[in-house]
Amino acid sequence: MAQTAMTVRLDKEQKMQFDQLCSDFGMSANTAINIFVNAVIRTGSIPFKIAKSSDEKIRRDALKAIAEIRKQVESSNEPEMTLEEINAEIDAVRTAKLAQE
């Protein structure tokens, strides 16, 4: 598939923070943006709740979950997951969450 460039304007401090967080997650900012774009296309919506309240708790919970997953992956001898496997797991979690609501 042919690729194209996209320019996004950000506040300098936000860009530095985003780059650092992406690095902490073990990915580049480019990879993070591609994950976001693919999720928007796949779901036809923004793939997360946009809300003023409890944003900090959501961020902390997400960072904790990512750190836990990273520990599991680093201690595992299994190969990395494919994009299809990752998307299947995300879909399964969303389906389970919808069933709980």
61 shares a domain with 28: no
Are 56 and 99 contained in the same domain?
yes
Same domain flag for 43 and 57: no
The pTM score is 0.47
List, for residues 44-72, the tens digit of each pLDDT value. Answer: 888 877 666 566 777 788 888 888 877 77
Q: Which residues of the chain have pLDDT under 70?
A: 1, 50-55, 73, 78-80
Domain count, the chain: 2
Rounded CA-CA distance 40/46 in Å is 5
- What is the rounded CA–CA span in Å between residue 9 and residue 50? 20
| Same domain for 60 and 14 | no
Task: State residue 13's pLDDT score.
Answer: 93
Positive or negative, the Cα torsion across 9, 30, 38, 73?
Answer: negative
- Token pair belonging to 13: 């401090």
Half-sphere exposure for 67 (CA within 13 Å, toward CB) = 8
Q: Are residues 57 and 98 in the same domain?
A: yes
Residues 67 and 36 in one domain: no
Q: Rounded to 5 degrees, what are φ and ψ at 75?
A: -90, -5
Q: Write out the residue range of the structural domain in which residue 61 sits.
A: 51-101
Q: Does residue 61 sit in the same domain as residue 98? A: yes
